[in-house]
Structure formats: structure tokens, C-alpha cells
Structure 1
Amino acid sequence: MSTPEREFDLQVNGARLRMQVLGADDAPVLLVHHGAPGLGSRSEPVRSFGPFADTYRVVTFDARGSGESEDVPPYTHAQWVADIDAIRESLGVEQVVMAGGSYGGFLAMEYTLAHPDRVSALVLRDTAANTDHDHLAVERARSTDRVPIDEWTISRIGTGAFADDTEFERYWRGILPLYDHAYDPEAVERKARATRYHYATHNAAFGQNMPGYDLTGRLGEIRCPTLVVVGRHDWRTPVPASQAIADGIPGAELVVFEHSGHSPQLEEPEEFQRVVRDFLRRAGVGRR
């Protein structure tokens, strides 16, 4: 039996967002936010959480300023959180399971803090509650023996300092080899070619939003069941960043994937799905 799937445009707070929904309309909603503003899109959440459409209504979308959605500023955490809630409201549901990876994890936590009654469970992947570990990414990029990474690329990690999409693509191609545990040059090239580049979104995210980003003092306010997962070899948001989140959220669970980099949901998909399904079952979220 095939899983129902549809793609459509949704007007949200003055911007057209591209949506992709998998699963039955009467299933509990699993709302997934992609990472990498200006680089990411719904394609990763569809691959990562598509298998969950047998039990959940998996809702994915390109955030404003990313993928196929409109470039309509502001690209702020407050605006992206408001967009998440507008999507939830459009679905006609009171609560969702909120999931997010990397920068999408920042927004998943921000949404949960802003709308605690709307989140039945929280799934965070390879993310952080502040910028304390960002310097380690620069150190890893400079010391890696995987591929040569030029100083121009290293100097722009997390800065949001790109003049146009051409510069932005140059940066992305330069840093992409660090993301996966097992380096595959052909996979890197496929990812680079498939990316839609929105440099202004990325500049706002990292040049304006991130310097003041710090949720560590508020993690204790998150009371819903929370799962935190991370790849052991994540160069961008290392294990200590996830450990800090799990330590700060009461009752949160931490699972480290030993054979993954920044994307255990793609590098160890079967184990990722098993862990998340088990967590959501124990959290009481799913069909009864």
C-alpha cells in the first residue's frame, strides 16, 4: 500500500512556502525543519523521516529564503518560529511532534520554548543551544587531512559574509567534504549540484542571528519528552553540544551514533529510525 504524498504551495505570513506532506491526514503530525538556511531544503527531511509516514503525517517544507520557497525577509528566528506555527495552524492540529537537525534544531527548540503547549515531543539532531563549540569547527577544518580546505573557505565558517550566490557556492563546495563520516567525492558533487543557493538568507542567519543565539538558560523550560541524537564524528556540532542540551532539558535522552558525521539519519538510517520510533512509542505519540 503506497503512502499518500502531496506537494503544494502555502502562503504563510506573507511568503510562499513549498510544502511536502507524506502520510494519512488523520495521523499524528511529525513536523520537520531542515537545517542550513539558504542551503537546506525539505529534501533531507523527506529522506530522513519519509519512512515514518506509515505511522505519522510527516510535514516538511522549504523555510522562507531556502529551497523553492520565496525569498521574503526577515530571516530571523522569530519569523521562522511564526512560520512554523502558521503551518501547524493550517494543518488544523493542536499539537505536533517537532523535529529539527542542525540549524533546524535551533528553530525546533525556539518553537518549543515559544509554544510549549503545541509540542507533544521533540526530536533534535546534531544541533546546539549556543555557539560555544563553533571554534572547534574552524579548528577541525584547518587540521583535517581529508581534503585541502583553503583559508578563504575556513575564514567564512559561520560568518554569513558572502557577496553573492557564486561566492556562497564556492564556500559550500569547499566545506562539504567534512560533513559525512565516510568521504565520497561523488556524493559531495551531487549535493553541491542539487543545492539551491540563497546567500542573503545564510548571511542573515549566521551574520545577524547567531551572534546572540543562546538557549542554555532556558533549556529547563522544555518539559515535553525530548530525544537528542548526534553523530560521533560531527565536525560542525560535536557531541559535547548535544550533551549540553540533553543535560539541560529535564528527562532528555541522548543517543550517539558511532559511525556518523553530521547526518546519522542518512548515514545510519535503519538505526536512526529504530531509535526515533522507540522514543516516540515510549513518549506515547502515535496511532493507538
Structure 2
Amino acid sequence: MRYRTDYSAALLASPPAVIDIAGWRLHYQAYSTRQRDSRPPVLMLGGAFQSFRSFAAEVDELLAEHPVILLDLPSQGGNLQLAPELGLEQLADLIAAFAEQLQLPPLMPIGLSYGSALAALFAARHPQRCARLLLAGITAFGRPGARRMLEEGLALLDEGRNGEFAQGALSGLLNPLQLQETGVSPVFRKALLRQIQRLSPIEVERYRQNSRRLLAFDGFSQHPPCPTLVLAGEHDHFTQPWEHAHFAAACAQADCVLIHHADHLAQFERREACAALYRPFLGGRALPARSPGSTRLQAEHLLKLEKRCEPRLAPRQRQAQLQHAEGWQWTVELSELGFFGGLLQGDLPGDLPMRGWRLQCADLPSQPVLPLRCDDQGLAFVFPHTDAEASQALAARIHPAPLPTAACA
């Protein structure tokens, strides 16, 4: 590997190097302080809607101690090659083939969101090629609510309802109830919403393929054996803290750390709190016993985290109407209501359709809902938050103080 030594943030927008492996094109950029560098390189693997430019601050900081490689696999980042036949495991194997072809020493992947699944699978399937592993936003996507949200997003895209898709995706990435805690500005939120709304047809198709890979993934049959650091935003409701902790508990040498005042984008929302952990970790040094902005979970607590990310309370007005697009309607009683979902009871048929439902409760606007399960406890459901005005009204009702309009805009 020959590294570039002239790094600047502007170079991240320049054309990448391309390597062909069995017909698959992998895009990459590689930087170091020396052209030939035998040190283990940090490998950046981003999530949906991220490009090399997303990691300008990380590259600038990491280069002081490590070579850095940014990699876009097919259908990821700026790589527009479609790969519907490749599953997550095959993409992870492409990372190993990339390392072999370029004769790289063991890698230190940093995987974020979608990239975390690829990084973790690479480390588990090719342990000899992975020295250390850092993950944020990790999940096996086995949680029913997360799967239903992904499925609904795909269905909306298939119907050309891109605005509703974008609104739901944004509420997954940025917790609307915690914007004051996370410090996400209205400007950033609106910019991200516009980016998702304006996805090109090929970008939409890439999102479809990546989401289908996640939905088809059966979970980890083996976990990374290398030293692993898992970072979880304490307010992340898309890939929840308890899921991070369970993953860490299954690894041979893993620490799990809660990043305070952060949600799914912890690495970007709380850069210094995250950097204070990944700097020593990637350098092979012990994590600090205490670190500002985070809490390191004790091993005995990893499987004991609360699995509900918000309290579900009995609403003051329990009677509601469950309505379907085909014209059906039932009077129901709400026993639990939160911003992300709830539980209701009613004389409902056993074979409920999975889509097309809205819930009308009290003086709130009609809310889109997705059924999760119907049993003797009632009908559990999640709100997809595809209707911005309805979400804003619900947030103002659930949250102790009304949110600014930008929270759900």
C-alpha cells in the first residue's frame, strides 16, 4: 500500500482510488504521514447517507498516530455499483479480499451504523486480519420495531412517497425528543431531511438493497474475538443502548460505553467524548477509568440494561379510534402511550393488515401506526413518524415541555 501524505479535508471530495475484486469495484482513499507504513491502519466504514467527507474531523485527528483508509464497498457511500446478490457476509469478505490484495497489516475498523454490521462481520469472519474493532450504532436488527420501520420505509419508497420516507428516516437517526440534550441544530436537521428527500433514483435503489441486506441478516453466529469498543448514544432509539450492550457481552474482549447527550449519531454529536475513548483504544492503551461525557458499563451490567427507551404511561384519555385506509374502524382503549409506540385493547380481528393504519386519540391529529403483535395483552404498535405535523403534536403531548417546530420539521 502506498499512502498519500498530503491529506487535507478538500481531498475527501476528490475521485477515489478504485480496486477491482472479482468484478466488484471498491473505492478507497488512504492517508498517512509516510508513504510506506507498516502500522495497523484505521479503516473507516460509514453508514447510510454518509460519504468520505463525513469523516474529515476523524481523519485529521487519527492521522497523528495511525494510517487511515476510507473504504466504500459496492452500494455504499460514493460507490454507485449495485450489488443486490451480495449479503452482509459477502460484503464483509470483500473487506478481507481488499486487505489481502493490498497486502495490508491487520486492520482497525471503525464501523458506524450500517458500517458497524460490516465491520463486526469482517472481524468475526476474518480474525487474523483484524487487530482492533470500534463500533457505534451496532445491531443485528432482530428487534421487531426496528425491522418494521425498515420495512415501512421500503414500502413507502416503492409507492413513491419519498417525503414520508424521509421524515421517518430522519426521526430514526435523530431522536426528536432529545434535540436539546443532543444539541442537534435545526439547520443540521433540515439539511439532513433535504438530503434524504432528494435521493437520486440510484441512491434510492442502493438504500433498498442495503436495507434488504439488514432484514435478511439472521444475526451473528460468531462474534469478534479481537479487542472491541462499542459506543452507544444514551438516547439512541433506533439501535438502542441495550442492543449495544448485548453485542458487547457476546464478544470475547469488549467494552461498552454510553455516550451522554447523544443518539444514533454519537460520533458526530459528541466528538470529543468519543475521541477521548477511541484515541487510547486504537493506540492499544487502557481506557480511562473515568472519561468526561461517557459512562463505561461494567461487565455484570451488560445484560441488565432497560430495553424500553422511553416510559410508556397510561394516557389521560384512553378511548381512541383505530382506522384503516380501507374504511374499517374500531373503538379501542389505550393502556400505554409513548412517542415511539404504545399498547391498545379492542375487539380486533386476528389477521390485521400490516399497513394502512392510523390512530385517532383525544384531540391529537391522526397518527400513522404500524402493528407489531396482537396477543392477550393487546395490540402493540410503533409510530413510524412519517407525518411531521402529527409527530410534532404527539411530541408536545408526551414531552414535559413542547418541542420547537424544528424538532419534527
TM range (shorter): 0.7 to 0.9
In the alignment, residue 142 of structure 2 is paired with which amino acid? D
The alignment yields a C-alpha RMSD, in angstroms, of 2.9
Query: Partners in 2 of 1:182 and 1:250 — Cα distance?
Result: 35
- The CA deviation at 1:68 is 2.3
TM-score in terms of structure 2 length: 0.57
- The CA deviation at 1:53 is 1.2
- The CA deviation at 1:170 is 5.1
Greater fraction helix: 1
Alpha carbons of structure 1 residues 283 and 93: separation in structure 2 relative to 1, 3 Å: farther
User: What is residue 62 of structure 2 aligned with on the other side?
Assistant: 52
- The CA deviation at 1:204 is 2.3
Could you tell me which of 163, 167, 170 is aligned with 2:158? 163
User: What is residue 331 of structure 2 aligned with on the other side?
Assistant: none
Query: Partners in 2 of 1:18 and 1:59 — Cα distance?
Result: 10
User: What is residue 123 of structure 1 aligned with on the other side?
Assistant: 134
Could you tell me which of 100, 123, 129 is aligned with 2:111? 100
Bigger Cα displacement from structure 2, 189-198 vs 230-239: 189-198
Query: Partners in 1 of 2:98 and 2:213 — Cα distance?
Result: 25
Query: Partners in 1 of 2:195 and 2:57 — Cα distance?
Result: 14
Bigger Cα displacement from structure 2, 113-122 vs 63-72: 63-72
Query: Partners in 2 of 1:77 and 1:155 — Cα distance?
Result: 17
User: What is residue 255 of structure 1 aligned with on the other side?
Assistant: 257
- Contact in 1 for aligned 2:141/2:214 (Cα 8 Å): no
Query: Partners in 2 of 1:193 and 1:16 — Cα distance?
Result: 29
Query: Partners in 2 of 1:280 and 1:108 — Cα distance?
Result: 15
User: What is residue 145 of structure 1 aligned with on the other side?
Assistant: none
SS at match of 2:253: coil
SS at match of 1:19: strand
- The CA deviation at 1:45 is 3.6
Query: Partners in 2 of 1:58 and 1:89 — Cα distance?
Result: 17
In the alignment, residue 61 of structure 1 is paired with which amino acid? L
Alpha carbons of structure 1 residues 88 and 250: separation in structure 2 relative to 1, 3 Å: same
In the alignment, residue 162 of structure 1 is paired with which amino acid? L
User: Are positions 1:81 and 2:86 aligned together?
Assistant: no
Structure with greater contact order relative to length (CA < 8 Å, sep ≥ 6): 1
- Contact in 2 for aligned 1:232/1:258 (Cα 8 Å): yes
* Deviation per residue, 1:181-208 (Å, 9 max, x gap): 3343311232344565522222222235
**Fraction of identical pairs, as percent:** 21
TM-score in terms of structure 1 length: 0.78
In the alignment, residue 263 of structure 1 is paired with which amino acid? L
For structure 2, which runs of at least 5 residues remain unmatched after alignment?
175-181, 287-409
- The CA deviation at 1:177 is 4.4
User: What is residue 142 of structure 2 aligned with on the other side?
Assistant: 132
SS at match of 1:54: coil
For structure 1, which runs of at least 5 residues remain unmatched after alignment?
139-152
* Deviation per residue, 1:11-60 (Å, 9 max, x gap): 33223333233323414300111112xx3333334444441111111111
User: What is residue 208 of structure 2 aligned with on the other side?
Assistant: 203
Query: Partners in 2 of 1:87 and 1:174 — Cα distance?
Result: 35
- Contact in 2 for aligned 1:64/1:75 (Cα 8 Å): no
Query: Partners in 2 of 1:174 and 1:44 — Cα distance?
Result: 22
Alpha carbons of structure 1 residues 51 and 137: separation in structure 2 relative to 1, 3 Å: farther
User: Are positions 1:17 and 2:11 aligned together?
Assistant: no
